[in-house]
Amino acid sequence: MSREIQIRPAVLPLVGAIFAAAVGSILGQYIALFYRGWAFPGWLFPILLVFALESMYYSVYVLSPRTPFTWRLFELGAMVVLIELCLRATRSVTYPWWALWRSAADLDFIIPFALAVFVWGTAGGFGYKLARITKVRDELGDQAAATLSWEYDSIAMKAPNTTLPVEYFLFRLMGFGFLGACLAVAARRSGHYQSMSQREQFVLFALHVLALTCGLLLQGGAYLHRLTVIWQHINVPYPRQLLNGWLRNLVIVCLGVAVLVSIMPVDFSPITYDNISGGIARLLMRMFDGPPQRAREQAETPDPGTPPVPWVQPEEGEPPFWAGLLAVLYMLFIWGFTLLALVIGLGFLLITLVHGELERLRGLPRAAAQFFLAVQESVRQLVQFVLRHMQRVKERVRIPKIRPAAPWELEAPRPDRRGRQETAAVRDIRGAFRQLLQEAAGAGIPARAGETPGEFGSRLGEALPECGRDILEFMASYHMARYSRRELASSLSKAALAQAERIIAALHIVRRKDNDRTDH
Amino acid sequence: MTELTINSIAEFGQTVADNIGRVIVGKRREVYLILTALLSGGHVLLEDVPGVGKTMLARALAKSIGGRFSRIQCTPDLLPSDITGVSVFNQKQGDFVFHPGPIMAQVVLADEINRATPRTQSSLLEAMGEMQVTVDGVTYPLAAPFLVIATQNPIEYEGTFPLPEAQLDRFFMRIHLGYPSVSEEKAILQRLQVEHPIEDISACTSLDEVAVMQRLVCDVFVEESVRDYIVRLTHASRSHPQVQLGASPRGSLALMRASQASAALQGRDYVIPDDVKGSAMSVLAHRLLLRPESVMRGVTAEAIVGELLERVAVGAEPRS
């Protein structure tokens, strides 16, 4: 049964256990903060971690639907005994060993026990889902190949009353994150946080960081693990760069979360909502109310030598209409710009995170991604324009440098006729065609880069309708001479050269007419 | 190859195109592209909306070459054995008797191939690649010439299993039929008012002749500069900034073979760059995997191939 289960990366259960223990510890810290009658004991950290690890590894490697429930009861019993032992070792307990039920009224026992059960249950849930991900091959069967496509994964494999294991991790991560944020805000607004010692504040901060890091790693690792399982099942080679890409995405998510946490009204960093709004307000006041307060006060300070002037109430005039309009426009600009920046940021995140599935986005995410791409394209074009302009300037003042050409811009290699003797007739016809190209270029009909001789002939025929038949026949002879392996009959060769001469003569006339027109 | 043989291929193309033209109004270029695929021994993916004559085109082609036509309507519950055939126990004989599936035909129409499950798609594509099917350990070769015309609807994605890039690469060409013009649609209404002309079509060649023509197409001469052009086109597709995965060497081979068949259909025993250009769109476009951001910008594989055809130098004569 369980021996077949392999969690890759192997540290995933460990990360999950640490996450559960960190969340439990954070809850304990806040309980101790809000309820001064109980202090978070130091021994509870290892206890929570031990039970998280036990529950996680047990769920991943041992637990099955046939596991007897008595085993779970035994685990709970062990928890009670261990907490009771720690409690008795750190303080005096009034009730004897044989009266353990009396601990049900002791908060020093109840709170650690409740936290341990919470951590134990959370870690167990994560372990169960990790094991279920590993068994995804049983659910998929021979349809695993189709699971690589996004639709199948998200639609077909999702029963109406169940959630995907990956969603399970995401919902818990978001739920715990929201709970932590709410508790943090409440602690700061109520002033409890400020009453904590520096050491306690540091512990709380470290637990938050630990929970966030482990939670994100667990979420990313679970998704990666699911992909690995499916790919191994259908014998698709596992791409090594996937892990790197995934870690990079996690770093971006972490940065995004850090930015969000920073601008939340929690004062974790100097870039807070209050500071930003205060800054904007000061800027607006400065623009519409004239110089700052201090400068105004200095201007209003009377000179000691001059006699005091009786104070007169300044007349409060109505602000002009244009000032109000300007203020509204300014506000619209500020908010529009902020919204724009948010949309571009969202687009960047989407393109970075769901790079391969962009075409499946709908609604606002799609619009954000498209908007970001449009902005990216505009910037690229602008940079190209500037570079081109600079290049032109450089070319005027210096000898131009040869830049390496892109593969499609490369000039075709000079054709040779390896393995085939080129007869005089073929040489003459090819020479005539080259001359034709030069004359046509002189007459304003240059050959284009990707144009075939046939296409060039058609274009030439449109420009010289009187030579249409000659051009058609010459091109047929040229094609045969240039691309077939047959010898060209001498009569055909002579006819082709005569046709070329007539076409060139017609081109000369066109060229002369053009020159005359230019002279006039 | 003699001049007569090449001319016979050109005549064959002309006759079959005329024959099909009695049923499918217009679309001569598309018919020639399908003939190119047939002579090259490749298979065709027709990507278009329903009702533009995909099935009728396949039926008319099968009748014109005198081959057996079968149609597979792909659905999610279609099994591989529904395509390849199944061995049934005959109580009278006391033995298993093989009942061949629809794949045992010369022209097979796999309608809406993207509705079949990947497993069924694989069995069909395996038959296309290997020219044989294996049922219960017995291998049955498929009769030559063998042409699969698969269709898929480019609009609907719900409940479909899109062909992966590796399997798309197995198709020789992807062709879009498109809607007929106003005059063509009027002609269709007029022609089909009383009865369908498909019943009047008769074979204008034999299967053996088609098989011989397929072999003769391989002898059409490809000059070195044309080969260079083909390779430069596919290489340029691999390094294009908007392409994630360019055309494979199989794509180069297919482009060369399609150019040879196209030249033969025009009565030439040598390939010119126009043959390459004429086939490149149908042969290369479906082999390109675009970057997601390019897809978001609305860039299509056809646009990329068009750009490559404009920019990659043909190399007929050195630039002076």
> Looking at B219, B250, B281, which one is the last position of a domain?
B219
The three-class DSSP label of residue B298 is: coil
> Looking at B189, B219, B249, which one is the last position of a domain?
B219
Tell me if A350 sits within 8 A of A361, measured CB to CB.
Answer: yes
Average pLDDT estimate for B49-53: 82
> Looking at A380, A397, A414, which one is the last position of a domain?
A397
Same-domain status, B14 and B121: yes
Q: ipTM score of the complex?
A: 0.82
Model confidence over B78-97: pLDDT tens digits? 888 888 888 888 888 888 88
* A7 vs B301: which has the higher pLDDT: B301
Average pLDDT estimate for A363-372: 81
Contact partners, residue A114, CB within 8 Å, separation at least 6? none
> Looking at A203, A236, A269, which one is the last position of a domain?
A236
Instruction: Walk across the sheet containing B107-111 and list its strands.
Output: B69-73, B107-111, B147-152, B44-47, B173-175
Model confidence over B6-22: pLDDT tens digits? 788 888 888 888 888 88
Confidence of residue B307 (pLDDT cuts 50, 70, 90): very high
pLDDT at B101 over 80: yes
Q: Which residues of A touch B319 (CB under 8 A)?
A: 411
Same-domain status, B33 and B101: yes
For every residue of A349-401, DSSP letters joined together read HHHHHSGGGGGG--HHHHHHHHHHHHHHHHHHHHHHHHHHHHHHHHHHHSPPP
> A429 to chain B, minimum CA–CA distance in Å?
11
Q: Which residues of B touch A412 (CB under 8 A)?
A: 225, 228-229, 232, 313-315, 318
Lowest mean pLDDT across A246-250, A432-436, B141-145, B277-281: A246-250
Tell me if A453 sits within 8 A of B273, measured CB to CB.
Answer: yes
Same-domain status, A210 and A347: no
pLDDT at B4 over 70: no
Confidence of residue A408 (pLDDT cuts 50, 70, 90): very low
Rounded to 10 degrees, the C-alpha dihedral B299/B301/B305/B307 comes to: 0
Confidence of residue A92 (pLDDT cuts 50, 70, 90): confident
Whole-number Å distance between alpha carbons of A74 and A85: 16
Domain count, chain B: 2
In a domain, A461, yes or no: yes
Same-domain status, B203 and B228: no
| SS3 annotation, A62-113 | CCCCCCCHHHHHHHHHHHHHHHHHHHHHHCCCCCCHHHHHHHHHCHHHHHHH
Same-domain status, B195 and B270: no
> A261 to chain B, minimum CA–CA distance in Å?
30
Same-domain status, B208 and B95: yes
Same-domain status, A38 and A119: yes
pLDDT at A154 over 50: no
In a domain, A122, yes or no: yes
Same-domain status, B208 and B131: yes
Residue B223 contacts A where some CB pair is shorter than 8 Å: yes
Same-domain status, B86 and B228: no
Same-domain status, A393 and A432: no
In a domain, A272, yes or no: no
Q: Which of residues 298-317 of B touch A (CB under 8 A)?
A: 308-317
In a domain, A249, yes or no: no
Average pLDDT estimate for B119-148: 83
> A171 to chain B, minimum CA–CA distance in Å?
27
pLDDT at B241 over 60: yes
pLDDT at A190 over 70: yes
| Alpha-carbon distance values, A510 to A247, A435, A474, B299, B320 (Å) | 66, 16, 19, 40, 21
Contact across the interface for A484 and B277, Cβ inside 8 Å:
no
Best mutation target, A147, A408, A428, A433, to test chain B (most B CBs within 10 A): A408
pLDDT at A157 over 70: no
In a domain, A308, yes or no: no
- Residue indicated by tokens 């390896």: A418
pLDDT of res. B299: 86
Model confidence over B201-231: pLDDT tens digits? 888 888 888 888 888 888 899 999 899 999 9
Same-domain status, A363 and A429: no
In a domain, A293, yes or no: no
Q: Which residues of A touch B318 (CB under 8 A)?
A: 412, 414-415
- Residue range(s) defining the domain that contains residue A355: 322-397
- The domain that holds B58 is classified in CATH as 3.40.50.300
In a domain, A265, yes or no: no
Domain count, chain A: 3
Contact across the interface for B272 and A483, Cβ inside 8 Å:
yes
Average pLDDT estimate for A161-186: 76
- Residue range(s) defining the domain that contains residue B211: 1-219
pLDDT of res. A121: 92
Same-domain status, B155 and B272: no
Same-domain status, A369 and A330: yes
